[in-house]
Structure 1
Amino acid sequence: MSETLYEQVATFIENQVRDGVYRPGERLPSLRRLSRQLRVSIATAQEAYALLEDRDLLEARPQSGHYVRSEPARPPQPPAISAPLPQPTEVRVSDLAMQVIQANDRPGIVNFGAVVPMVEFPAIAQLHRTMASIARRGGAKLSSYAAPPGLPELRLQIARRAVDAGCRLSPDDIVITTGCQEALTLSLRAVAERGDVIAIESPTFYATLQTIESLGMQALEIPTHPETGISLEALELALESWPVRAVLLTPSFSNPLGYRMPDPARQQLMEMLRRHDLPLIEDDIYGDITFEPPRPRAVKSWDRDGRVLLCSSFSKTLEPGLRVGWVAPGRYLEKLKHLKLVASMATASLPQMAVAEFLEHGGFDRHLRLANAAYRRRRDRVLTLIGRHFPAGTRATCPTGGFVLWVELPRQVDALLLYRQALEHGISIAPGPLFSAKRRYRNFIRLSYANAEGDRAEDALRTLGELACALAGEAGR
């Protein structure tokens, strides 16, 4: 898609900042002067500056003008590529996962353990008003089952938005689910059976491990780089060595690493799947939460024979309580519709109708700009506090999207002990062993920064750092 005029102006200013024409802390041209310089309207100049504010490149100071933001503190170094044992294993994480999930719901907890979005945005209030209006209007559609594949108006809006991820989908290609978790579960059931081996990135989201566990399947953990994703060389070797039935990945801002797989690697992955005649379950729930546009292309966009099952939802971009997810299952469409029908009959009609109407009337992209800028600022702040308060040698990822940081602590720090101590101080975190079928990553934790704002959150991170320093044998920093 070609850039709009205000996006071209924003790119021009951004390049000037990167070339050193304007340095951190320096004042940029006024709106009137910029409009004269570039021969654009003042409104266009204003839109360009607003976009650069969203990108966190500049800040507006009342009665003064626009200034280049000061450079953020240097983030910690990222962890090394993971090195799990290359053999399938049964999964046993559900008991620990349930403990962590329940701890996140304690009253008064400072919650770095649950990956939930901010809901204090204007768009969320608008969504609530839309839902209330639909409920008042009533009608037969509201009172009936939205049987698989789900409401056509919502599937239409999803198909239109799929173009941003490089995918050409029709509404008939899509099945509505109750959240992304149901989409992933149904996809696993569509492509594999009890006892089958599923190749996954390592570390990986514990709910994915729970699903594999509940279905009686085995997980084969593959080494994964914290910035570029799963090792394709290690995956190729695993596919040649073990009877892998499917691959399940989150190529865009994975949980917990937050990596973004480069496009050439996505294409290479797609070719590998074709050679081995394997399906890919692609979890794209964080794809829209990107700090460095454009939005990543889904691996599904290179799929020519329907072997990719693309899963997502609106739980992270809008509100988790909606429980509106979806899957584009390719060649497994009919089987997945049947599985959805027998698993839960239908996803609730009211939230489907509300999301469809919200998307149709626009504003979703403006909401994403506002939300993603806020999440980026919180990521930077949390990384700064980690560098300031955590033990020497702590490493952390610096994702370019999503909500989470993967933090490697010194080897002396037991993440499970740190988790229990943090709870005693009213702080929730997710310990590393949750993210491995073999309970690896004992000195790692995952932190969610989506709601890490304000003095209370900063005090909690300081306390968490002090606890980690004590476990590492340091006096504190």
Structure 2
Amino acid sequence: METTTDIASDFLYLRIAKNFEDQILKNVLRIGDKLPSLRSICRQYEVSQTTAMQAYYHLESKSLIESRPQSGYYVSNSPKRFPMVPQTSKPGHLDNNNLEDIITTVHNHRQENSKIINLSLSAPAPELLPLAKLNKSMINAMRQLPANGTSYEHVQGSERLRRQIARWSHNMEAGLTDGDIVTTAGCINAVAYALTALTQPGDSIIVESPVYFGILRMAKSVGLRVIELPTNPQTGIELEAVKKTLETHKIKLCILVSNFSNPLGSCMPEEHKREMVNLIQKHNIPLIEDDLYGDVYFGANRPKSCKTFDQSGLVLWCGSVSKTLAPGYRVGWIAPGQFKDLVIKQKLYNTVSSATLTQEAVAGFLETGRYENHLRKLRQALHGNSLKFSRAISDYFPESTKVSRPQGGFVLWVEMDKRINTLDLYEKAIRNNISIAPGLMFTLQKQFTNCIRLSFGITWNEEVERSLKILGAIAKSYLPSGA
């Protein structure tokens, strides 16, 4: 329950943030200027350090300031020069028949050429991962497990890992226990178990638009009818569209990437998640929640999930360490709610068991407390990258370019002039050893032909900035006078 102190604290941090935002707008504070230290803010406004940090986090969320390690906070952008945010999507009815070809082409190009600057892969660079500590955890797992980890694991998965996942889920107030969780080979594998357990060919499902291409491919492969709904780059799927669709169509289930979605980077506000759960409960429709990016937040706290508000067991919460710790370990999980037995059957039919060693290695890493320390460093690096990418796009791309402003995750959604065909842009970029993800990869419809997804999970350096400059120059070449 919200207290008077909480309300006063919220008001104070917003007031402090507004004061600095006004100074940036009026050019009193300019790009590159250093802001007062947190200690100075505490003294000047007579507030706690938590309130001071909330003010700076709020300014960071608007991409107005950035944190520099061991240095402090600096003005990084002015709203006057920052790209506008794309509008809510408006899915139509024309089919995109090239999805599979586009995905295959992008994957093949980046695998065949090691010199490529990979801006198309939504994953952390190896330099951002605690590789030495993971290696140590893997060795310990091999030593401690019976038969050195070569035996089959229980079908539900490592109890040690499930216990750690349940403990970690308390950050989003979901109240899970180890018995609620089934381990999987990554998050997309968890979504696949849920999807095949709950649908039959010909069923209709609701997704965001644009949406991660892996979900689209999976739905097509099992013969589902996919209904893409309007989605806002900041707040996620439009609830009015969900309400109308549930009332007018026979929907089998919904799939949402609730926190820092791929490719938009949107994060459903808490009240939207609560309302979404109310909607599925009203219509008795399951919701598969892909919460792969929830731990990669740039603000003060992890956002809650739809699972937080689930009282009926209709939300199947899916997660993984693939975007935070070890992509190649393929360690994921699902909390299937009332569908646990069905999901376990799917796992038994398809894989029998999860990989014993990698599960145990991740469990050991989580037990040590190193995960949160690693995540803090990862979040800081990614947040800084997102700001650098946004500034570079502002500097080098056509003036009409719009860019999402994610508050977590790995990706930016870039919308350009309608005259820019991003499939053609991709071909020209790859000839310059730059890989991007064309917008058509994220829809089953003929839309987003002028959009791209860029990943900022790569380590920022001069070569990355040069690549963005080249991309911007290619984009400008489509327009009269290169504007």
Give the TM bin, normalised by the shorter chain.
Answer: 0.7 to 0.9
The 3 A distance-change label for structure 1 pair 30 and 406 is closer
The 3 A distance-change label for structure 1 pair 59 and 443 is closer
Alpha-carbon separation, structure 1, partners of 2:375 and 2:227: 35
Alpha-carbon separation, structure 2, partners of 1:17 and 1:224: 28
The 3 A distance-change label for structure 1 pair 356 and 293 is same
* 4+ aligned runs moved over 4 Å, structure 1: 11-24, 26-31, 33-39, 55-62, 89-92
Aligned to 2:202: 195
* Aligned counterpart for 1:323 among listed residues 330, 336, 348: 330
* Number of positions where the alignment pairs a residue of Structure 1 with one of Structure 2: 459
Deviation at 1:34, TM superposition (A): 9.9
Q: Retained in 2: the 8 A contact 1:416–1:431?
A: yes
Q: Equivalences for 1:59-208 in 2 at 5 Å? A: 66-74=71-79, 75-85=82-92, 93-105=99-111, 106-121=113-128, 123-137=130-144, 139-140=146-147, 142-208=149-215
Give the counterpart letter for 1:116 in structure 2: A
Deviation at 1:240, TM superposition (A): 1.8
Deviation at 1:268, TM superposition (A): 1.0
* Aligned counterpart for 1:347 among listed residues 332, 336, 354: 354
Aligned to 1:6: none
Determine whether 1:287 maps to 2:294. yes
Alpha-carbon separation, structure 2, partners of 1:401 and 1:133: 32
The 3 A distance-change label for structure 1 pair 94 and 20 is closer
Deviation at 1:317, TM superposition (A): 0.8
Alpha-carbon separation, structure 2, partners of 1:90 and 1:79: 21
Alpha-carbon separation, structure 2, partners of 1:195 and 1:320: 33
* Aligned counterpart for 2:221 among listed residues 203, 214, 220: 214
Deviation at 1:275, TM superposition (A): 1.3
Alpha-carbon separation, structure 2, partners of 1:449 and 1:113: 9
Q: Equivalences for 1:248-259 in 2 at 5 Å? A: 248-259=255-266
Q: Retained in 1: the 8 A contact 2:193–2:346?
A: yes
Alpha-carbon separation, structure 2, partners of 1:404 and 1:34: 32
User: Identity across aligned pairs (percent)?
Assistant: 33
Q: Retained in 2: the 8 A contact 1:199–1:246?
A: yes
Q: Retained in 2: the 8 A contact 1:324–1:351?
A: yes
Alpha-carbon separation, structure 2, partners of 1:122 and 1:233: 40
Q: Retained in 1: the 8 A contact 2:141–2:364?
A: no
Determine whether 1:272 maps to 2:279. yes
The 3 A distance-change label for structure 1 pair 412 and 253 is same
Deviation at 1:71, TM superposition (A): 3.4
Q: Retained in 2: the 8 A contact 1:147–1:341?
A: no
* Aligned counterpart for 1:387 among listed residues 388, 394, 403: 394
Aligned to 1:261: 268
Give the counterpart letter for 1:95 in structure 2: D
Deviation at 1:139, TM superposition (A): 2.9
SS at structure 2 position matched to 1:381: helix
Aligned to 1:5: none
Q: Retained in 1: the 8 A contact 2:413–2:454?
A: yes
Q: Retained in 2: the 8 A contact 1:112–1:452?
A: no
Alpha-carbon separation, structure 2, partners of 1:237 and 1:36: 51
Alpha-carbon separation, structure 2, partners of 1:157 and 1:318: 14
Give the counterpart letter for 2:452 in structure 1: I
Give the counterpart letter for 2:365 in structure 1: F
Q: Retained in 2: the 8 A contact 1:251–1:261?
A: yes
Give the counterpart letter for 1:330 in structure 2: G
Deviation at 1:367, TM superposition (A): 1.2
SS at structure 2 position matched to 1:69: strand
Q: Equivalences for 1:456-475 in 2 at 5 Å? A: 456-475=463-482
Alpha-carbon separation, structure 2, partners of 1:119 and 1:244: 41
Alpha-carbon separation, structure 1, partners of 2:478 and 2:118: 21
Q: Per-residue CA shift, 1:134-193, capped at 9, x if unaligned?
A: 335553361111132100000000000111112011101100000111101111011111
Give the counterpart letter for 1:165 in structure 2: M
Q: TM-score, normalised by structure 1?
A: 0.88
Aligned to 2:310: 303
Q: Retained in 1: the 8 A contact 2:258–2:267?
A: yes
Q: Per-residue CA shift, 1:319-355, capped at 9, x if unaligned?
A: 2111000000001101100100111122211110010
The 3 A distance-change label for structure 1 pair 30 and 109 is closer
Alpha-carbon separation, structure 2, partners of 1:160 and 1:234: 35
Alpha-carbon separation, structure 1, partners of 2:273 and 2:428: 40
Q: TM-score, normalised by structure 2?
A: 0.87
Alpha-carbon separation, structure 2, partners of 1:59 and 1:253: 20
SS at structure 1 position matched to 2:413: strand
The CA RMSD over aligned residues, in Å, is: 3.2
Alpha-carbon separation, structure 2, partners of 1:179 and 1:129: 21
Q: Retained in 1: the 8 A contact 2:236–2:258?
A: yes
SS at structure 1 position matched to 2:229: strand
Between stretches 465-474 and 414-423, larger displacement belongs to: 465-474
Determine whether 1:448 maps to 2:448. no
Alpha-carbon separation, structure 1, partners of 2:181 and 2:105: 34
Alpha-carbon separation, structure 2, partners of 1:336 and 1:315: 21
SS at structure 1 position matched to 2:297: coil
Q: Equivalences for 1:355-394 in 2 at 5 Å? A: 355-394=362-401
Give the counterpart letter for 1:411 in structure 2: K
The 3 A distance-change label for structure 1 pair 29 and 304 is closer
Alpha-carbon separation, structure 2, partners of 1:215 and 1:92: 18
SS at structure 2 position matched to 1:167: coil
SS at structure 1 position matched to 2:357: helix
Determine whether 1:411 maps to 2:412. no
Q: Per-residue CA shift, 1:186-228, capped at 9, x if unaligned?
A: 1101111111111100010101101001111110010111111
Give the counterpart letter for 1:393 in structure 2: S
Alpha-carbon separation, structure 2, partners of 1:95 and 1:458: 29
Deviation at 1:52, TM superposition (A): 7.8
SS at structure 2 position matched to 1:244: coil
Q: Per-residue CA shift, 1:368-409, capped at 9, x if unaligned?
A: 111111111111111111111111211110111111111111
Between stretches 365-374 and 276-285, larger displacement belongs to: 365-374
